[in-house]
Amino acid sequence: KWGKLESGIKLTRTTTDNDVQWQNAVDGNWITDNSKTNHFIFHENISAAYINFSKTIGKYSIQAGVRAEQTSTEGYSVTLQQKNNNDYFNIFPNLLVQYASSPLHIFGLGYKKNIVRYGFDYVNPFILYQSQYTYSQGNPYIKPQIDNSVELSYSYAGKLSASLTYARSTNSLTPVYRQDTVSKLIISSYDNLSEADFLYFTIMSNLSIGKSSSIINTASALY
């Protein structure tokens, strides 16, 4: 009578144990290379709860919801004897309104907030060997990226669709490079930008060929 209501909880517990052993053959014996060997353990715990509501009113359909997440991470470099902890809480609302002017034409307007997290390779503080000239190093203080986006969409008969999306990101991920003062090697890492703005446009067509084949064409642009 009033619409459809959904709710739920989700608990995720993840452990990554990354143990990289470098050894050199010296006089027939394998000797551990401590400058390259690395042992890093990463724990990520996510507790989330959500509630969604949807309803159709005439030619309009509405979907609205909110998700709450508590995230705790711990990165422990056994090699460096270094431990880093991060805890953050976020609320993610979403809203989608669609208008069907006819069975063939559907227009949509939506808003959502998302999070982008990074795995152990982004937060591992150990300098990892890639080549004799290049090394990489994670940033244990990296923050998750938060995206707020608004999207306009249009669909015709399920065969043609187009969307225009604007997104504002905070703590946006960016690669950074620095030169070691002693070895002169280039070390690549990651950091956060304060803000970033994105504009996407996508158009897609779906053309059926006979009863068993179809051709899907997609064109997109990003600014």
Question: Is the distance from CB of 94 to CB of 111 less than 8 angstroms?
Answer: yes
Give the model's pLDDT for residue 181: 82
Quote the mean pLDDT of the chain: 94
Once rounded to an integer, what is the mean pLDDT over residues 93-114? 97
Give the model's pLDDT for residue 217: 96
Residues 165-220: pLDDT tens digits?
999 999 999 999 988 888 778 899 999 999 999 999 999 999 888 888 999 999 99
High-pLDDT (> 90) share of the chain, %: 82
Residues 17-54: pLDDT tens digits?
999 999 999 999 999 998 889 999 999 999 999 999 99
Once rounded to an integer, what is the mean pLDDT over residues 71-95? 95
Question: Is the distance from CB of 3 to CB of 55 less than 8 angstroms?
Answer: yes
Please tell me which of 4-8, 23-27, 34-38, 76-80 the model is most confident about, judged by mean pLDDT: 4-8
Give the model's pLDDT for residue 87: 95
What's the whole-model pTM score?
0.83
Q: Is 139 helix (H, G, I), strand (E, B) or coil?
A: coil
Q: Which residues pair with 162 in a beta bridge?
A: 154, 203
Give the model's pLDDT for residue 196: 96
Q: Is the pLDDT of residue 92 over 80?
A: yes
Buried b (16+ CB within 10 A) or exposed e, 204-222: eeeeeeeeeeeeeeeeeee
Find the Cα–Cα–Cα–Cα dihedral 149, 152, 156, 158, rounded to 10°: 10
Please state, in angstroms and rounded to a whole number, the distance separating the CA atoms of residues 112 and 23: 49
Please state, in angstroms and rounded to a whole number, the distance separating the CA atoms of residues 199 and 218: 17
> Nearest Cα to 121, choosing from 138, 134, 136?
138
